[in-house]
Structure formats: C-alpha cells, structure tokens
Amino acid sequence: MPELPEVSIQKLSKQFDGVEVLRDVSLEVQRGEVVSILGSSGSGKSTLLRCVNWLEQPDGGEIRIAGDRIGVKADGKAMNNRDLAKVRSQLGMVFQSFNLWPHLNVLHNVTEALIHVKGMKKAEAETLADELLAKVGMAEKRSNYPYTLSGGQKQRVAIARALAMQPRVMLFDEPTSALDPELVGEVLAVIRDLSQEGYTMIIVTHEMEFARNVSDQVVFLEKGKIIEKSAPEEFFVHPKTERVRQFLELDEKV
C-alpha cells in the first residue's frame, strides 16, 4: 500500500468579502519533500499556507495531514477545539513577523508550549529547547528577551519553537520578508539544514535562488490558482507558461 502524503490539498477554495483568493487548488506533499510556493503579491500564497494550518477556514475542498482531515470530522461536522488542536499540532508554523512572546525570554518562548500544551516536565522541556536553540545557533541567547535580538535571531528562535513540537510538517510564511538583507542568509541557512535533515516543508518565499536549491517541487500561484508545478530545474530553466517566464525575467532584472 503506497504511503499517504504528509499533506494532501484537494480542490481548495477561499473567498474574502466575495473575492476569490484561492480557486480549486490541489497539491500533495510527500514525506521529506520541500515544496516552495512562489507568486506575485496577492496571488494567495500566504492564504494557502494559513488554510493548511486552519488559521483561515477554507470555503471548499479539503486538507489532510498524514491522512487526517483537518477542520472537519469523519461525519462532516466541524472539529471542536481539542480535535483541531490535535491535528494542528502536527504542523509547525513560522510567520514572517516572528510572533515571539515579548514577555518571555528565548528559552521560555521555546518551552512554553512544551510544558502547557504537551505536558512536558520543565527540566525535560528545557533540555529539548537547549538542543534546538543550539541547532539554530541561538544557544548563547537563551536568557535574552526578544527586544534584544535582531530580526534574524528572532526568526531562528521562532524556528526552534516550531521544531520543539516535533511536527510532521514545517510551514514557512515568507520567513525572510521582514528581515534586513544582511540577515536573510542566516535564516535561509537554518532552513537549508532542515531540508538536508529530511524535514517535510512548505515554504512561501520570494527568494528564487534559495527555492531553486532546496526544493523538490516549485509551485506558482497566480490569482489563487496553481498555473505551474514542477521540479526546480524544469521550473527555472524550462518554464511551461508565459506568466512564469515573465515572473522569472522580472526577478532577474531586480
């Protein structure tokens, strides 16, 4: 029996105030696969990612995480908060604006959910947090508060916090878009290391060279629809559509 995809998105649709933001989007992500989602501003990239995590509720279609449908139970009724949290715990989300808790230091930002959601003992949670902070190069900042950190450092802590929940899939919503150019590389290096370790990841990004180097699949969204989906070499060297060719040419000129 073939292995179920880690993420299965089928015929997904989403509207805001009558405007269709996602239209009939279907995508499968296999275990250990890295999928980069590209497109111009307003194409629906971040909305797609937020629907996967059920931060936005789709208007149609379905999303399954390792075979488990998110948001809707087998009988078709909406999940309660407990059931939703159980499925959602399989997803680690890293936002473009970091979303660290300002009143907690770096260590406690990582251990908070481990203790209060997973029920882990404090000492065990801190041991795991220290391991993950070392992985992202932030071990020496464990006692610092977010306001003392650079944007790149905040994002690396956010990645450690997401990894701490041991998710099946990591979701990155333009993780470098809020960073100064000189800080982008340090965050991309961490994500590249995760890809080499076999993490399953969906990455919304505008970093073309990075997407080309780390992705197994590249997906291009235009006005809420997937208009191209292929391996990175094919996507960047032999795009199938005129729209993608224009997009890539424009990026080269910037």
Q: 235-253, pLDDT tens digit by residue?
A: 999 999 999 999 998 766 5
Tell me the pTM.
Answer: 0.94
Higher local confidence (pLDDT), 89 or 64: 64
Name residues whose C-beta falls within 8 Å of residue 111's C-beta, 6 or more positions apart in sequence.
Answer: 120, 122, 125, 126, 128, 129, 164
The residue assigned the tokens 């961490």 is 190
As a whole number, the mean pLDDT across the chain is: 93
Q: Reply yes or no on whether the pLDDT at 215 is more than 60.
A: yes
Alpha-carbon gap, residue 172 to 220, rounded angstroms:
16
pLDDT range class, residue 35, cuts 50, 70, 90:
very high
User: Whole-angstrom Cα distance, residue 64 to residue 85?
Assistant: 14
| Confidence (pLDDT) at 2 | 67
Mean pLDDT of 100-114: 96
Over residues 24-40, the mean pLDDT reads: 96
pLDDT in the model for residue 206 = 92
Question: What are all long-range contacts of 181-184, with beta carbons under 8 Å and residues at least 24 apart?
Answer: 183/150, 183/151, 183/152, 184/152
Average pLDDT over residues 179-204: 94
Instruction: Write down the pLDDT at residue 253.
Output: 58
CA–CA dist 77, 47 (Å, integer): 23
Q: State the average pLDDT over residues 141-170.
A: 96
Is pLDDT of 81 > 70? yes
**pLDDT (tens digit per residue) in 129-138:** 999 999 999 9
Residue 124 Rama label (left phi>0; alpha psi -120 to 50; beta): alpha
The confidence band for 10, taking pLDDT boundaries of 50, 70 and 90, is: very high
pLDDT at 84: 87
Give the mean model confidence (pLDDT) for residues 165-176: 95
| Residue 75 scores a pLDDT above 90 | no
Average pLDDT over residues 69-93: 87
The pLDDT value given to residue 122 = 96
For the record, the structure tokens of 228 come out as 């191209």
**Predicted local confidence at residue 137, as pLDDT:** 95
Over range 39-65, report the average pLDDT: 94
* Rounded alpha-carbon distances, angstroms, from residue 140 to 45, 130, 133, 157: 34, 10, 8, 12
Q: What b/e string do you get for 58-79 counting C-beta neighbours within 10 Å, with b at 16 or more?
A: beebebbbbeeebbbeeeeeeb
Distance CA 98, CA 187 (A): 12
